[in-house]
Each structure stands twice: as C-alpha cells, then as structure tokens.
Amino acid sequence: MCGISGVVSFHPIGDRLYEGVRHLEYRGYDSCGVAYVQNHHIEVRKDVGTVDEVQSKANIRQLLAAVGIAHTRWATHGKVTKANAHPHLSCKADFAVVHNGIIANYKALRATLSKAGHTFCSETDTEIIAHLIEHTYAECGDVEVAFVEALTALEGSYALAMISVHDAERIFCARHESPLIIGVGSETNYVGSDFNAFIDYTKNTVILDDGEYGIVSKDSYSVKNLHSGEVVDKSITVVPWDSELSRKGGYPHYMLKEIHEQPLAVRNALNIGDDEIGALADMILEARRVHLLGVGTTYYVALLGQYLMAAVADMDLPAVSSDEFRHLDKSDGESLVIAISQSGETYDTLMSLRHAKERGAKTAAIVNVLGSSMARLVDRVILQGSGPEVCVVSTKAALTQMILLARIAIEVGTRRGSLSADLQREYTAALTALPGDIDNLLNEKSGLIRAAAYRHAHVPNWLFLGRGIYYPIALEAALKMKEVTYIHAEGMPGGFLKHGTLSLVDDKLYTLVFVPPGNGELHGMTMSSVEEVKARGGFVFGIAFEGVDDIFDERLVLPVTSDFTAPFLPLVAAQLLAYFTATALKRNVDKPRSLAKSVTVA
Ligand code: F6R
C-alpha cells in the first residue's frame, strides 16, 4: 500500500532511488515522485503514472543529488492527480515528506494550520505533515525537534520519510503501525517501506518499531524513541532473500514465476523444524478456544485450515475473516488466535491480533516476511520461507501456508490420538511427494490449461463449486480469477447452490467444479452438483482426477496421488487458469487495477 524509498550517499543517488521505488511498485502504482536536495533547495519531480512513465518524463535516474526520497502511490485520500502524488512540500519548500498510512486527525490539523497561514496544494492527509514540521521548525529552529513534535501530534498510522534544506545530508524517518526499515550499506544508506527498496544493494537492515524514529546519513544511522528521545540499540537483521529471487528471472510475469516456485516453496515449508510445528501444536492443545484469522486469500487459507483440523485432528478451529474479527472477538486468557499473512502487515489482521492480545489471548502467526509487524507482535511465529512474493496476487505464499496448516493438523492429530500412526505416515509421505506432483502438473498440464483459458476468456460469469475441503479451494480459485482477470467468479459450496443461486444457471453461465478423487461420499455429492447445473443447461468445466466419469462439457484430468494432498493440485491448476485468462485478456497481471500487495489501511 504505497512504497517509500530513500537514499543518502557519497555518490549520486538517481539510479538507486529509481530502482528502489520501481521495486516497490507492487505496493501501489498510480503515481510516483521524488524529492531531493540540490543547491540548498528541495526539488520535486512527480506525476501520475507508473514509475517508468514518470521516469520517462522526470528522468529520476539522472539525479546528481546525494540525498532523496521517493514514493509510489496507491490512492487513499484524494484522487489520482499530480498534485496528490508524493512527495509533498511545506509552504516554503523547506521540508518534503513521503508517507504510507492514514492520518486520522488530518482535517483538524489542516484547519489549524490554515488558520496559521499555511496553504495546501493537495487533497492528501500527507501534506499536512510537511506543513506541521515547517510550522514547528519556525518556533524551535531544530529539524529533529520539529520532526518529533510534529509526529506526536499525528493520530492514525504512518511510515514516513522526510528531507529538509535545514539538515540537507540526512533522511528522517519514522513508523507507527506501518512498516519502515533502514538499509545499512557501504557509503550509502537507505530507507524503505520494505526490503525490496534496497535488496539489490544491501541485505543488512534495521527494522523500526512503532514509536521509533530514525536519522539516516550516508555513513551512519541512529534510532531513537519518539517519546523519551533516548537512543535505541537496534540489532541488524540480515534479509535471508537474494535479490535475484525478487526479480522475474525470464518469466513474463511474477505471477507465473511464483506459481512455478511452488514446489520449492512447499519443500521449504516441509523443511521447517518439527520443533516449531510442535510448539504451535502445544499452544493449540493448551488453549480452550482457538481461532484462525486471515483476510482475502489468507481467510480462505484459514478456512482450509479449519477443514484440515476437523478432518485430521478432530478439532474445531473456526476461521474468521480478520476484517470482521473485532466484532466477534470474545477471546480471553485461555484463547489462542493464529493469524495467517504473507506480508505480516495487513491492517485488518494486525488489528485483530492486537485486539485479541488486549483481551489477554495468546497469539501466533504464520507469516512470510521476516521482521514484519505480526512476526514481532505475536507470542510465536512460524516464518513460512516462501521467498519474496512480488505479484499482488498471492499464489506460492498461500499454498505454503496451507501446507504448514496441514503439518500442524497432523501434529495435533497425532498428539491427541485422533490420527493413527499409519495415517500420520501416509499423510507425511503425501506431503513429501507433493512438490514432485506439482512439478508434474506444471510440466504436463500448463499447455492444456492455457488452451482452455484462451477458449473461455470471453465468459463473463463463472460459478466455482467445491464441497468439503474443496470449498475453500473453490473460494480461493474464484478470488484468483476475479482479481487478475476482472471477470466475475463466485465461489460456493456445491450444496449451497440449490438454495438460491441455481436460478442463475442457464446456457450462458459457466461453472467450474472441483471434483475430489475416488468414489466416496464427497465425490458423489460433488457429482450431484454437476448434474444440477447440467440439468439447467449450464456449461460445466470439471477439474477432476483420473477415473472420474466424464459427464462434463469439458474437463481437466489430473493424476491421482493421495486423497490428503489432492486438493492442492486443482488449486495450482486454477491459478494457471486465472493467469492465462488474464494474459488472454491482456490484463495487468502482476498489478491488477485497484489492488495493492500489502493492505495496511482499514
Ligand atoms: C489475494 C491476496 C489478498 C491477500 C490479503 C491478505 O491474492 O493476495 O487477498 O491475501 O490482502 O494479505 P496478507 O497475506 O499479506 O496478510
């Protein structure tokens, strides 16, 4: 949700500032800008458009300055206009600010500052920060004091970076409920809203906590407590990701690259120590009540976890969408709340964790980003090790989270005695074989799926049906289709269809059905949903396994591996279907319209 990059160096910063903000574009890309100090003035170059579009007009790369900040925006307050693009300047252009988050009291502050003679050029909440610092500076004459005083007046959330003509060789930065990190390099230091801002240049980072601010110069940095002013002794965290991993590596889109990285991501999840899985299993078994939280894709992951825990561990761990959790939360000292999040920064999930914590609950999280807010907030974290996920649309992170939940369910089931030793071995072996199964699917079925996607790219409405554990798979597959193609796809339990939605079915509505392998009850019930749609003239595309009767209008047949891991294979097929449909429609695959990777606002 917006990206911040800052560079201060012995050398010209243009290239690094541009690369930093370009690698953050997945966080928002409707407008972009830079501010830098040159000849005792702050210059701003900004415009609407992607980083490359703005670069072609503003030539950021050629900047000769030694200190600068940059921003790529995902609009929250104010339309997508050049005036609303960051950085924002104070009246005298002595201070420039870039900001992620939302300043809740900006209207009141703006009114006060207007009365004091400040004039505003944008509709944003951010602009008031630059004016507020200038206003305070006029009284105290000290940039650091003015910065700190301005921050203490802000309510809401922020990650921000500031430069000033009055302290022209340093970047001031701070965070409150929105991530901000410092990159420690050689002869150059950095500020970023995440590692991608500088991972090409350094892996050494200092992660700011809420209530801290940083002052970064070309050869040093310091972090202080906002309220006491005391220096905080921060350790350096070394980012375990390679910059190569964050790049496209020959694939046309990150989404396809990340779909193809799933065998590796699953292997990494299987290599996470048994002790870590066991420790979370202990917490689950000790709690009287456990909730699984996520939002968007991660809610569907949590829901799949609920099905796994019921089937494998004979336990009910309700999944709740974290944007609604606060309205339902009755947790107490005997509760455990487990959050699932790729970024570890999602506002709804983070706030839910805080809410539960305030009520005395224990908390845990499965997250992908080291040092993220959730990773540091909870009592126990499992770092899923999926590597950077750059495409806005989550694929490998989500699948990996599902695999970790499967491992946790096996562990809990084994400890409770609800899972026999034989089944425990069978399920573990199936998980071990899964990366190979996914590899085979990617190698053998991609062509068929691509052809199907191009054939059906004109279909405007889809129903995605699944029963049992295939229901969260259907929901997640429908979300993939919607977000990356802009085609309407509605995920639904097969049994729910006849309670209303069936009236939509005619020869124009297409239905994708996730059919479980075998001839068991779930399979039979799913096939009756297929019959219901066919009887109304609906077109049915089945993603099924070998040995299933061919009653579909079209089908994709997958090899049967194990009933336990079978649901993950149609999910991968559905990811590819969404991807190829999006390419057939020439969509902006890695950055679908209106979406941002990490949603850090309410
Ligand atoms: C969909 C998608 C989103 C995220 C959701 C939570 O493909 O990526 O629905 O799953 O915004 O994000 P994280 O996992 O970062 O908490």
121 flagged as catalytic: no
Is residue 413 in some structural domain?
A: no
What is the residue range of 195's domain? 3-246
* 5 band by pLDDT with thresholds 50, 70 and 90: very high
Percent of the chain whose predicted confidence (pLDDT) is above 90: 84
Cα(377) to centroid(ligand 1), Å? 19
pLDDT tens-digit profile of 472-526? 999 999 999 999 999 999 999 999 999 999 999 999 999 999 999 998 999 999 9
Mutate to test the pocket of ligand 1, among 254, 297, 374, 384 (most ligand atoms within 8 A of CB): 297
Closest CA to ligand 1's atom 11: 296
* Same domain as 254, residue 237: no
Q: Do 81 and 198 fall within a single domain?
A: yes
Same domain, 455 and 331: no
Cα(340) to ligand 1 centroid in Å equals: 9
CA angle, 562 as apex, 561 and 563 as ends, to 5°? Answer: 130
Measured in Å, residue 160 CA sits from the centre of ligand 1 at: 23
Distance from Cα 393 to the centre of ligand 1, integer Å:
7
Per-residue pLDDT for 243 more than 80? no
For residue 597, give the ligand 1 atom closest to its CA. Answer: 8
Residue with tokens 């990494």: 268
Strand order in the sheet with 380-383: 319-321, 289-294, 335-341, 362-367, 380-383
CA-based max dimension of the chain: 80
Mutation to probe ligand 1, out of 194, 341, 389, 394 (largest number of atoms < 8 A from CB): 394
Q: What number does the ligand 1 atom closest to the CA of 480 have?
A: 7
Q: Which domain-ending residue is among 199, 229, 246?
A: 246
Residue 523 has a pLDDT of 96
Domain boundary among 246, 266, 283: 246
227 and 266 in a single domain? The answer is: no
The verdict on residue 409 lying in a domain is no
> pTM for the full model?
0.83
- What residues line ligand 1, using a CB cutoff of 6 Å? 295-298, 341-343, 346, 349, 393-394, 479, 483, 598-599
For residue 244, what pLDDT is reported?
67
Nearest CA to ligand 1 atom 5: 296
> Is residue 1 pLDDT above 70, yes or no?
no
User: Could you report the per-residue pLDDT of 158-205, keeping only the tens digit for each?
Assistant: 999 999 999 999 999 999 988 899 999 999 999 999 888 999 999 999
**CA distances to 338, 380, 411, 416 from 281, in Å:** 11, 11, 6, 10
C-alpha span between 494 and 547 (Å, rounded): 21
Distance 296 CA to ligand 1 centre (A): 5
Which is the closest atom of ligand 1 to the Cα of 367? 14
Ligand 1 atom at minimum distance from 599 CA: 11
CB 292 within 8 Å of CB 302: yes
Residue nearest atom 8 in ligand 1 by C-alpha distance: 394
Residue 408 has pLDDT above 80, yes or no: yes
- Domain membership of residue 418 (yes or no) is no
Q: Could you say which of 365, 400, 435 is where a domain stops?
A: 400
For residue 433, being part of any structural domain is answered with: no
Render pLDDT for 355-393 as a digit per residue (tens, 0 to 9).
999 999 999 999 998 888 999 999 999 999 898 898 999
107 is catalytic: no
The single residue listed with the structure tokens 């919607």 is: 482
Q: Do 210 and 198 lie in a common domain?
A: yes
Instruction: Report the DSSP beta bridge partners of residue 319.
Output: 292
Alpha-carbon distance 344 to 382, whole Å?
Answer: 11
CA angle 236, 237, 241 (to 5 degrees): 145
* Catalytic pick among 46, 218, 396, 597: 597
- Angle, to 10 degrees, between the axis of helix 421-456 and the axis of helix 568-584? 20
Please check whether residues 252 and 350 belong to one and the same domain: yes
Average pLDDT over residues 71-81: 83
User: Could you tell me if 470 and 523 lie in one domain?
Assistant: yes
Mean pLDDT (whole number) for 412-440: 97
Query: Alpha carbon of 588 to those of 392, 396, 483: distances in Å?
Result: 10, 19, 10
Assess whether 236 and 268 both reside in one domain: no
Residue 96 is encoded by which pair of tokens? 């420039």
The C-alpha atoms of residue 489 and residue 492 are separated, in whole angstroms, by 10
Q: Residue 326 belongs to a domain with what CATH number?
A: 3.40.50.10490
Among 193, 194, 298, residue to substitute to test ligand 1 (most atoms within 8 Å of Cβ): 298
Counting ligand 1 atoms within 8 A of each CB, the residue from 481, 599, 600, 601 with the most, and so the one to mutate, is 599
| 20 domain residue, yes or no | yes
- What's the gap in Å between 300 CA and the centre of ligand 1? 10
pLDDT band of residue 394 (cuts 50, 70, 90) is very high
The domain that holds 112 is classified in CATH as: 3.60.20.10
- Statement to judge: residues 347 and 478 lie in one domain: no
Based on the domain organization, do 68 and 180 belong to the same domain? yes
**Of the residues 2, 32, 173, 391, which is catalytic?**
2
With respect to residue 216, please indicate whether it lies within any of the assigned structural domains. Answer: yes
Ligand 1 centroid vs 294 CA: distance in angstroms? 8
Give backbone dihedrals phi and psi of 151, rounded to 5 degrees, phi first.
Answer: -60, -40
* Rounded Cα gap, residues 174 and 160, in angstroms: 6
* Residue 74 included in any domain: yes
596: in domain: yes
Q: Nearest-CA neighbor of 57 among 94, 21, 31, 23? A: 31
Q: Minimal CA–CA distance to 492: which of 509, 514, 525, 507?
A: 514
Among protein residues, the one with the nearest Cα to ligand 1's atom 10 is: 297
Q: Is there a single domain that holds both residue 216 and residue 265?
A: no
Q: Are residues 489 and 365 in the same domain?
A: no
Measured distance CA(431)–CA(433) in Å, rounded: 5
Q: Tell me how far the alpha carbon of residue 298 lies from the centroid of ligand 1, in angstroms.
A: 6
Give the number of domains in the chain. 3
Residue type, position 598, single letter? S
